[in-house]
Amino acid sequence: MKKILNLLLIGAVAVGFSACKKYLDINTNTNNATTATPALVLPQAIVGSASIVQSLNAAYYFPGGFAANIYGVGGYGAGVTYAYTAGSFVTGFSSSYDNALDYQYVIDNTSGTPSLAYSTAIARIMKAFVFSKIVDQYNDVPYSEALKGNALLTPKYDKAEDIYKDLISQLTSTINAITAAQAGTVANTVVASADPLFKGDMNLWKKFANTLKLRMLVKMAGVPAQASYATTEFAALNTTIGFLTTDALVNPGYVKAINSQGVSQQNPNYGSLAFGTDNTRSQGQAIPTRWIMSFYNGLKLSDPGRGAVIYRGYPSTAVNQLGEENTTSSQVPPSGSTSWFTGVDANTPGLGVAKGPSQGQPLILAAESYFLQAEAYTRGYLTGDAKNAFTAGITASFNYLYQNQSNVVDASKNVNADVATYLTANTASRLVNFDLALTTDQKIEAIITQKYIALNVIHSDEAFNEFKRTTYPAIVNGSQDPLLTFASKQSVSTRPDKLIGRVLYPQSEYNLNPTNVPSVTLFGSRIFWDLN
């Protein structure tokens, strides 16, 4: 078979983004107030963000080290060579701005009404979330002059660092606005049905905003030119609000069905890794990498608990190295299923990452929140117990993966017992037992490696971001050993690690905004927080 559905890369992004607008779409122009209201736009925008998050996740299955090509299929193209063009990852840019425009519409139409303060706050937080994701993909992007529609078609590109700073300022003021509204005399509510993320719980929204701030500040603090700013912001961070201790899951009522527009209404991650609504398997041309499986099967770490719920047929799941085409006929997905679905069949949900069509879609996992805290404590950005946060991150990862699509830990699973087993089985590894990590670098390696494992095919893009920022999990540059690197054997990258530095701006920007779009290269340019 020479023709493949490249949904692991460009195709997945295109499909995912087109679906995100249609799931709860109410009109084609959210600036037309006669056909849309903030109460209708806000929930569909949140669901749109969830779809965008999954599309970014899917786009990095291959370049992030999580999935590889299979036996008997060619034509993977840029999926194995990394020769991406300005036509790759296109909708990661355009649909994110479309999504941000929805939030701007809500802000513009609610900010003057005290009784709608919570709606304004949610839209501002989610707009910051979306722009943080845009910056992490493209670095300098339109921001201060963006979202103005026909009034300004060629917005300037703002510096990534400046955008981060404004997003952090926006999050701080929004947290304060929520607190003021909670203590005020004007009644403020967001009904659960209008909030598919936290069901109107504004304390959770504050934790979400605080966690997003923490993510950005940790990235900024490692950049010498931004260290002073980050130090000041860390000192001012309101830690009494706390950070996420539960998974931030969007769920508007995902269901295994097609809506009147012919668009799937099931969870996008399940649809990407398991089955379509017609029970057709989604991943017939991809299997896990030898690299990622080594963190479960004992070659690097032993983790049968999580391995068994993530991978079908574990520990005998077929694996490959990206770009390796000299494979055997056994290196194919399970017959009638995918490598990432562990339920009985397409009509019987399971656990792991592809639980079932009605599962929630994670925006930020509790595991990531804890690992961010662990890094902040280790580096001295905040005061806290790094080991406890590290262990809590591992536990939260087990907890999420052991849950069914109804967010209930399966009766056959014991999270605490299996975490204890994991620690014992890897008692000699400093990547699992934090006490063995003696230096700051060793502790950061343990934290980021565990974050990488926790984000496996859930937030592959963020896992890859963190690898670029920290160089962990550690690889051997230039190696073709699948246990020493996840770089493709067919990589055309000129970097020492044979990976990409960043994705390119879409061709539409070079066509429509040529005087403002920066000149960048796939292998030579980097995101501002990537110093490696």
pLDDT the model gives residue 6: 35
Least confident interval from 36-45, 124-133, 213-222, 284-293: 36-45
Which one-letter DSSP state was computed for residue 248? E
User: Does 27 or 459 have the greater pLDDT score?
Assistant: 459
Q: Which residues contact 142 (CB under 8 A, 6 or more apart)?
A: 97, 155, 156, 157, 158, 513, 516
What's the CA gap between 473 and 162, in Å, rounded?
Answer: 29
Dihedral pair phi/psi, residue 440, rounded to 5°: -60, -45
Sign of CA dihedral 83, 89, 90, 94: negative
Q: Do residues 68 and 490 touch, judged by C-beta distance below 8 A? A: no
Share of the chain above pLDDT 70, in %: 93
Q: Do residues 447 and 377 touch, judged by C-beta distance below 8 A? A: no
* pLDDT average, residue stretch 396-419: 98
pLDDT the model gives residue 32: 43
Least confident interval from 14-18, 60-64, 157-161, 244-248: 14-18
Instruction: Enter the pTM of the model.
Output: 0.93
Q: What is the pLDDT of residues 137-162, one digit of tens each?
A: 999 999 999 999 889 999 999 999 99
Q: Do residues 353 and 401 touch, judged by C-beta distance below 8 A? A: yes
pLDDT the model gives residue 55: 95
pLDDT the model gives residue 35: 52
What's the CA gap between 110 and 190, in Å, rounded?
Answer: 13
* pLDDT average, residue stretch 402-421: 98
* pLDDT average, residue stretch 189-202: 92
Residue with tokens 């949904």: 7
* pLDDT average, residue stretch 268-288: 97
Q: What is the pLDDT of residues 334-392, one digit of tens each?
A: 999 999 999 999 999 999 999 999 999 999 999 999 999 999 999 999 999 999 999 99
Torsion of CA 352, 356, 361, 365, to 10 degrees: -20
* pLDDT average, residue stretch 15-30: 35
Q: From its phi and psi, is residue 255 left (phi > 0), alpha (psi between -120 and 50) or beta?
A: beta
Q: At what angle do helices 386-402 and 440-454 cross, to 10 degrees?
A: 10
Q: What is the pLDDT of residues 74-86, one digit of tens each?
A: 999 999 999 999 9
